[in-house]
Amino acid sequence: MTTYYTSDLHFGHLNIIRFCDRPFAGVGDMDAALVRLWNETVTEDDTVWVLGDVALGSLADSLANIGRLAGHKILVPGNHDRCWEGDRALRKGEPDARERRRATEHERYLAAGFAEIHDRPEPVVVGDRTVELSHFPYEGDSHGADRFVEYRLADRGGWVVHGHVHDTWRQRGRQINVGVDAWGGRPVSDATIAGLIAAGPRDLEPLGWA
């Protein structure tokens, strides 16, 4: 059994193809390739932490891809996930109404195939180091100035495994980006991340798509 990490699949999102120069003619080709690359990498006995931004567009169609992915899937929502704690729709109205909407959105993602959803997960051990998991890096963005700073973890000198920055970097210092645009479309194993941490802080460029 292996633990993997990934982020920013953006199932169903046409514009991400242009934005990140993904090598696909359309959403159908992209979604099929993401499912194939995942299932070539992950087995049913493995666990995959998905660090946000799973699907956009019509969620009825795009979230359906989650059920086609192997393994025990745990979601840490990102800013494009409807179940994210910072989603505008979940912050409107009276507290009771907000909680009902939040529960409904969580149930939608669980029904799609996620076994667990963690807004703020506990740190995990990778190799012999404890690391933080978040959709966001400590600092840096793919759109210029840092966004959503109120939802970012404080940098206390440790390592963070994250997404959000797409193909901006694969590693920057103690920040390891597991987004599919940095890893050829595939989830990243804990052994690979442990190796990066053991090599120490540095800057690494994204890998090409498989």
Residues 151-165 have a mean pLDDT of: 95
Residue in 55, 71, 65 with CA at minimum distance from that of residue 14: 55
> For 185-203, what is the mean pLDDT?
97
Please tell me the pTM assigned to this model.
0.94
Inform me whether the pLDDT recorded for 140 exceeds 90. no
Cβ atoms within 10 Å of 131's Cβ, excluding its own: 21
Joined together, the tokens standing for residue 23 give 């090598």
Q: Closest by alpha carbon to 34, among 57, 60, 63?
A: 63
Strands of 61-150 (E only): list them. 72-75, 116-117, 124-126, 129-133
Domains of the chain from N-terminus onward:
3-204 (3.60.21.10)
Kindly report, residue by residue over 26-66, the tens digit of the pLDDT.
999 999 999 999 999 999 999 999 999 999 988 889 999 99
The whole-chain average pLDDT of the chain stands at 93
Q: How far apart are CA 120 and CA 122, in angstroms?
A: 7
Q: Which of the two residues, 144 and 124, has the higher pLDDT score?
A: 124
For 205, phi then psi, to 5°, come to: -80, 155
Residue 13 has pLDDT above 80, yes or no: yes
* Per-residue pLDDT, 114: 98
In order, the DSSP letters of 101-146 are HHHHHHHHHHHHT-SEE-SSPPPEEETTEEEEE-SS-SS--SSSS-
